[in-house]
Chains A and B, each alone.
Chain A
């Protein structure tokens, strides 16, 4: 089978010729669009390394068929910098050592951006940990990750308050 589809990836509309319905969003991003920032970990929805934001929601891209997402708006780690500056979540991960080997980091950062947008965790570290529990870190950088998410949330909140006033 052969299907023409489109995706908006990091703000750019991409036309895609799909020759196999089995391709996941993860494989499409990495193998076809060569956006390898999104990582393949377990490939079964357990580790969160493949987390991306699709139509405003963080999901596991390994468990999403590309063909089912024709027309979707996708944000990956390659698209989060703002005018050449690191995203506040990226800066906070650096400031708090929210990583060691870095393999899970793109997924952690995309998940953290999603968590902050969802707005359910507030400033409660326990709610942040629970909300980030779909992202495993085999190095065990969880302490720094939790601090980074809380810090980034404050920074984003302060920036948006400045905009409002």
Chain B
């Protein structure tokens, strides 16, 4: 690991000033950053430790009905906050389906949004990677790429964004609050991550020195509490990144879908909101035929970036299953195997 200067600012303003220098990186828990530094994938010359900044570890109810999650709230603390989990069950389920208990105890909300791709060629410094070394090429394109992107990829990069948490968040119109030298601003999570295009090294909309201070769920996000699920296919039962995943949230009036939210994970370099599918579902009956139509629409633009054509059909099926589970109703308790298609919840329908 390359050595670095270490600074621990006392305020957000001081942190932004310290992190605006070239080569600086923010350190919160470090569960992803330290891993990248040990492999020389990230080589910051200065770490700005924000883990002790005051007031960023709260979950707050705002006057307008929004919920504001501080950037330093730990993944486990958010998932196990009973009030939060009751209002946003798919978000809690997604959090608990990610990483391990040890990592969730440390990893922060802000860090989750900023985690880097798990593409093996990005991690292997002997491989070419346009994200790690711009202009060097993409060894993933002709390599072992069965888990790579099927939506929004470019010839320059076929990596995926690994977050589970971001998938229900983007479905629920989450907003990212950031602070930089020019002050505070807000970015819709849907616009926060960038698709690779010609600049895969630019992964999000943050300017140098800008820091995530909170993620906010707007008031309508709580309307879906009774019919929300996150479903994630993994290569093993637990402690693995998504092959594909889906967050589905419905507001039902009798058996008609009054409002639908749908997003996919593991398919692109950003959490993928499926708005065409939502339009199809709105006003339609909550039945399998409509779920299949929605799944077709959600994956209409998908194309394989390598040996991963199976992910397109898999994603369709996971969309159908997630919608069926959401329509059946949020379970009383998060299943023992959160988000697993193999989880059993007594009394609940598993199969579409």
Contacts and interface: CB of A to CB of B under 8 A. Distances in A.
Contact of B3 (A21, A44, A129): A21
B238 A129 contact: yes
Contacts of A126: 336-337
A6 to B, nearest CB: 15
A17 interface: no
Nearest to B335: A126
Contacts of A43: 38
How many B residues are at the interface, by size bracket? 20 to 34
B40 interface: no
Interface stretch (B9-17, B95-103, B273-281, B294-302): B95-103
A60 B106 contact: yes
Interface residues of A, number: 36
A58 B3 contact: no
A20 B2 CA distance: 11
A51 interface: yes
A32 interface: no
A63 B101 contact: no
A65 B238 contact: no
A48 B239 CA distance: 11
A134 B103 CA distance: 8
Interface stretch (B27-35, B135-143, B150-158, B172-180): B27-35
A5 to B, nearest CB: 11
Interface in B65-102: 74, 76, 80, 99-102
A37 interface: no
Contacts of B103: 45, 59-60, 63, 134
B30 A64 contact: yes
Nearest to B238: A133
Contacts of B29: 63-64
A20 B336 contact: no
B3 A57 contact: no
A57 B106 contact: yes
Nearest to A22: B1
A130 B340 CA distance: 11
A135 B38 CA distance: 21
Interface of B: 1, 3-6, 8, 27, 29-31, 34-35, 38-39, 47, 49, 51, 74, 76, 80, 99-103, 105-106, 237-239, 336-338
